[in-house]
Structure 1
Amino acid sequence: MNASPRRILWVAIAAAALTSSLAMGIRQTYGLLMMPLNVEQGVAPWAFGLAVALHNLVWGLGQPVAGSLADKHGSGRVMAFGGVFYLLGCGLPALFPTNTMVIVGIGLFSGLGVACAGTGMALAAIGRLAPPEKRGEMIGVASAGGSLGQAFMVPVVYNAAGMLGAVGALGTLAVSALLIVPLARGIEWRTPVGRKPGAGLAGLPALARRALADRDFALLTGGFFACGFQLAFITTHLPTHIALCGLPPALGATALMLIGLFNIPGSWFCGWLSGRVRPELALGIIYLARTVAVGAFALAPPTEFGTMLFAATMGFIWLGTVPLTSAAIARRFGVADLGALYGVCFFSHQIGGFLGAASGAVLLQVAGDFSAFWPVMVLVGLLAAVLNWLCRPPAPSAVAA
């Protein structure tokens, strides 16, 4: 690998880390704003919960489309549009803090924003730029760098909400999202010369049918449902659950920050692991570890130490599924359509995210707490582990570099 491609790769990794830090970090803070928006602006918890649930569903619907456009035309251009969508997603409810505008802004526009500018888009570009023998590790490095935003944005938004109110915190997020636009310029702004372009938007339906007809891709996709279900519930409702348990409200922000901090080494480790262990095997272990952590947290008496230990444990394996899932798809289908194929798989993740966030909000409205939800989290996690362990390794003749 000569100097020029190496430089291009590391510039892209840095840009991917920064853009995905902003895209993923912004959505990581939404759980901190549910109660302040209710108290200060009268935004109902059900409306906020529905907005986050819709955000997850729109993200899932938009990811295959954004991925197919990026595969054909370059990830950077699509990610720049993501910054504009995010500006609208956070800016509109900041200007007009009503139930309807929260649903439209956070639910629709920020869902499109993260679909275009989030981790999946950035890592598909890195997967194409990195040499095959380093692909998993480089994806892990970019994913780990992208986790910085999840740790950094939480205290920023928590303090902004304290000083400026929830509306001021949303305005801060809207302005921050604009930084995605210039940063995206460093990530695969156009399809490299000599590289076969992806199938594009027109070829997406046939590509999705072909992939889902593969038994093991379908199992991988089914397992990804649990990832979205568990993570969306925790991101949206963990701060509220902590407050309902009588623990200090600031502990919710600390827990989300710990998740982001521990996700940094965890994402790198899982990317490194993807080049040494069959990704589906590692994914099953992650889902099982999450399930054990969730079960222990639900059964143990609520304490500050227990909450921080739970957050650190979940953080280490929080987004480790992303480089592993990307590596598993690349091993089966190559990298030309990696963005689109990851998006097809990710749609299942976001159906889970929609159900996790929405059902948690409904349960809170009806029962007043989340005690009935934790057993469901355990069952979903166990099912995901089994589905991934049922996946067979790709035939040697089918593996593409």
Structure 2
Amino acid sequence: MASNPSPSSDSATYSVQTLSMLQVLACGAAIVTLSMGIRHGFGLWLQPITQAQGWTRETFAFAIAVQNLAWGVFGIFAGMAADRFGAFRVIVGGALLYALGLVGMALSPTGLLFTLTAGVLIGAAQAGTTYAVIYGVIGRNISSDKRSWAMGVAAAAGSFGQFLMVPIEGFLISSLGWKEALLALSIAVLMIVPLALGLHESGFASGKPVKREQTIGQALREAFKYPSFQLLMAGYFVCGFQVVFIGVHMPSYLKDKGLSPQVASYALALIGLFNVFGTYLAGSLGQKIAKRKILATIYLSRAIVIAVFLAAPLSPMSVYIFASVMGLLWLSTIPPTNAVVAQIFGIQHMSMLGGFIFFSHQIGSFLGVWLGGYLYDRTGSYDIVWYIAIALGVFAALVNLPVREAPIARAGVPQGA
């Protein structure tokens, strides 16, 4: 008997539910910890590299902006490959590119080569070792009643990586030098390769694409015609603009204001620490209340927190308070956004659709980090970009409220597809 399917159903002709929840969360969280932890500290290299190479801040900022854009572009194809052939091969390839990109970042003699390595190579590496691919494994192996929570755990791991890795990166720079620190990280990131073995799903072991009821083209046409998908993309654009601008430019902003580099290192670490709690809480709440309301609250709260930070007298304590509160909101958009994609469209093409939404995030990231460097070089201040971040936060809160979270109805598709 035919009936309308539920896209959130976990039964499918391509079933690969062979990994335990503990194994998926442990290995996935460790991979995200390394991958996200390293990239969160890139702002610490802005001044050492530009001063040593004689480059402007815009040169460094442009390379990181390209990194975020490349991450978004390659993320689409990494998601397609992970959905079709499994996450294992994608993660291993990403880890190797990450190591190569870090070596190139250390040894690049020109701004162009720096952009190609720190930008394109590392961006492609992050596409294969972070959320879109890891969440695809979670979606395929963890039931829908625990999926949002599990995504919160994985996102919290990325936050813990920031808390763990940023102080380590600061220590490596101060003790080894900026170039040697990057070379040391290029070795450390290869730990992702053995961790990827824990996400090697037997359903993909043959290397042949799994069978599914909906083609890539059908899935894309369905998603891009659906208004809620467009609204989620718009909100995620704002997320990228805000967090990457703050993550890359806040160390230099604070140093320009006369605060020591240690304040910036501690602030980034606090963002990572408190985001462990924020992302976990957002994922857990996503099992109980409407995800669109969670997202709207997060974006509006960011706008308020930034405005208060700029209005208050600047001191180490005000920076730490700002970092702690912002940390609760930092990556907490990730679990509800990805969970609502799975809830609406199902898990067959989850990594790919998550990749497209993340591409919007990375366009915002590109603009946030590049505008920060561009406007600073021309005005001597970051003020304009801070004000843009506030306005965008209000915009994102408003566009997330109309999102419809109910599973999309697909006429003529068998139940469970």
TM-score after normalising by structure 2? 0.90
7-16 or 46-55: bigger deviation? 7-16
| CA separation of 1:274 and 1:196: change in aligned 2, threshold 3 A | farther
What amino acid maps onto 1:380 in structure 2?
A: L
SS state at 2:384 partner: coil
The offset of 1:313, in angstroms, is: 0.9
Q: Could you tell me how far apart the structure 1 residues matched to 2:229 and 2:408 are?
A: 16
Q: Could you tell me how far apart the structure 2 residues matched to 1:48 and 1:245 are?
A: 20
In structure 1, the residue matched to 2:28 is: 16
Asked if 2 retains the 8 angstrom alpha-carbon contact of 1:24 and 1:119, the reply is no
Are 2:122 and 1:110 aligned?
yes
170-179 or 222-231: bigger deviation? 170-179
Gaps of 5+ in 2: 1-16
Q: Could you tell me how far apart the structure 1 residues matched to 2:89 and 2:202 are?
A: 8
In structure 2, the residue matched to 1:152 is: 164
The offset of 1:135, in angstroms, is: 1.0
Are 2:364 and 1:352 aligned?
yes
The offset of 1:335, in angstroms, is: 0.8
What amino acid maps onto 1:303 in structure 2?
A: S
The offset of 1:8, in angstroms, is: 2.2
Corresponding residue to 1:176 among 185, 188, 198? 188
20-29 or 172-181: bigger deviation? 172-181
Gaps of 5+ in 1: none
Q: Could you tell me how far apart the structure 2 residues matched to 1:218 and 1:191 are?
A: 32
Asked if 2 retains the 8 angstrom alpha-carbon contact of 1:219 and 1:391, the reply is yes
What amino acid maps onto 1:392 in structure 2?
A: R
Asked if 2 retains the 8 angstrom alpha-carbon contact of 1:74 and 1:190, the reply is no
Q: Which runs of 4+ in 1 moved over 3 A?
A: 188-193, 195-200, 203-206, 395-401
Corresponding residue to 2:301 among 282, 289, 301? 289
Identical residues among aligned pairs (%): 35
What do residues 204-226 of structure 1 show as CA deviations (whole Å, max 9, x unaligned)?
Answer: 45432321110111111111110
| CA separation of 1:268 and 1:361: change in aligned 2, threshold 3 A | same
Q: Could you tell me how far apart the structure 2 residues matched to 1:366 and 1:181 are?
A: 43
| CA separation of 1:400 and 1:237: change in aligned 2, threshold 3 A | farther
| CA separation of 1:232 and 1:72: change in aligned 2, threshold 3 A | same
SS state at 1:277 partner: coil
What amino acid maps onto 1:289 in structure 2?
A: S
What amino acid maps onto 1:290 in structure 2?
A: R
Asked if 2 retains the 8 angstrom alpha-carbon contact of 1:199 and 1:337, the reply is no
SS state at 1:247 partner: coil
Query: Which structure would you say has the larger Rg?
Result: 2
The offset of 1:197, in angstroms, is: 4.6
What amino acid maps onto 1:266 in structure 2?
A: G
What do residues 250-294 of structure 1 show as CA deviations (whole Å, max 9, x unaligned)?
Answer: 111111111111111111111111111111111011001111111
Are 2:324 and 1:312 aligned?
yes
Counterparts of residues 131-280 of structure 1 (less than 5 Å): 131-191=143-203, 197=211, 203-280=215-292
Aligned length: 397
Corresponding residue to 2:353 among 341, 347, 366? 341
Are 2:90 and 1:86 aligned?
no
SS state at 2:196 partner: helix
Are 2:132 and 1:120 aligned?
yes
What do residues 53-99 of structure 1 show as CA deviations (whole Å, max 9, x unaligned)?
Answer: 00010011111110111011111221111101101111112133432
Two-structure CA RMSD over aligned residues (Å): 2.3
Corresponding residue to 1:372 among 349, 360, 384? 384
The offset of 1:180, in angstroms, is: 1.1
| CA separation of 1:188 and 1:317: change in aligned 2, threshold 3 A | farther
Corresponding residue to 1:39 among 51, 72, 78? 51
What amino acid maps onto 1:363 in structure 2?
A: L
Q: Could you tell me how far apart the structure 1 residues matched to 2:400 and 2:124 are?
A: 28
Asked if 2 retains the 8 angstrom alpha-carbon contact of 1:329 and 1:342, the reply is yes
In structure 2, the residue matched to 1:101 is: 113
The offset of 1:120, in angstroms, is: 2.3
What amino acid maps onto 2:241 in structure 1?
A: F
TM-score after normalising by structure 1? 0.93
Asked if 2 retains the 8 angstrom alpha-carbon contact of 1:72 and 1:191, the reply is no
The offset of 1:391, in angstroms, is: 1.4
The offset of 1:318, in angstroms, is: 1.0
SS state at 1:179 partner: helix
Q: Could you tell me how far apart the structure 2 residues matched to 1:256 and 1:197 are?
A: 44
Q: Could you tell me how far apart the structure 2 residues matched to 1:244 and 1:204 are?
A: 48
What do residues 159-202 of structure 1 show as CA deviations (whole Å, max 9, x unaligned)?
Answer: 11111111012112211111111111111445469x965689xx
Q: Could you tell me how far apart the structure 2 residues matched to 1:87 and 1:54 are?
A: 18
